Amino acid sequence: MTSAAMTESLRRGTRIAHIGIAVRDLDELVPFYREVLGLPEVPLDDADGAAIAGLAAGDSLVELLEARTDDSPIAKFVAKRGPGIHHVCFNVDDLDGTLEKCRAAGVRLIDETPRLGAEGKRIAFLHPSATGGVLIELSEY
């Protein structure tokens, strides 16, 4: 295989990795997603001061986020806006390249450089002011 072909075979394309939903009580909501919608549960570590329940919907996850500390982003979100969709995460082939493109396009970044996210992958958040009011997380495969 040529190196160009290998590079091409590693490309998977941008797709939705997970949707982060802020909840007040995981125990109250997990049964709906697991039993009623039938999404299998995927164990995930806490991140950013929130406990996370992962539920697989095909190749994407629903991540239910419950604040564990009062100063966590999820606690602030729920206090201000109530429970609901908090962010959408896209997997991208090249996180550094995508952040560079965002910068070049004048997209405001929350994370100037990638950091480790809930699934142990490199992630970065974009500011909602640049994305139609939606908090977007970018993640590497």
What's the rounded Cα separation, in Å, for the pair 86 and 78? Answer: 9
To which residue do tokens 């009623």 refer?
36
Please give the helix or strand (H or E) that residue 16 lies within, else none: strand 15-23
Least distance from Co ion to the Cβ atom of residue 79, Å: 19
CB of 40 to Co ion, least distance (A): 18
Q: Is residue 54 close enough to count as binding Co ion by CB under 5 A?
A: no
Say how far apart CA 114 and CA 134 lie, in whole Å.
Answer: 19
Q: Minimum Å distance from CB 118 to Co ion? A: 6
21, 39, 55, 89: residue in contact with Co ion (rule CB under 5 A) = 89
> CA angle, corner 100, sides to 98 and 101, nearest 5?
65
**What does residue 2 show for φ and ψ, rounded to 5 degrees?**
-70, 160
Figure out which of the listed residues 66, 119, 137, 140 binds Co ion, where binding follows CB under 5 A: 137
Residue 3 or 139: which CB sits closer to Co ion?
139
Considering the complex, state which of residue 37 and residue 116 has its C-beta at the smaller distance from Co ion. 116
Q: How far apart are CA 68 and CA 75, in angstroms?
A: 8
Residues in region 10-29 near Co ion by CB under 5 A: 20
Based on CB atoms, which residue is closest to Co ion, 59 or 106?
59
Q: Which is nearer to Co ion, 20 or 83 (CB)?
A: 20
136 - beta bridge partners?
88, 126
Q: Smallest gap, in angstroms, from Cβ of residue 126 to Co ion?
A: 12
Contact residues toward Co ion (CB under 5 A) are: 20, 89, 137
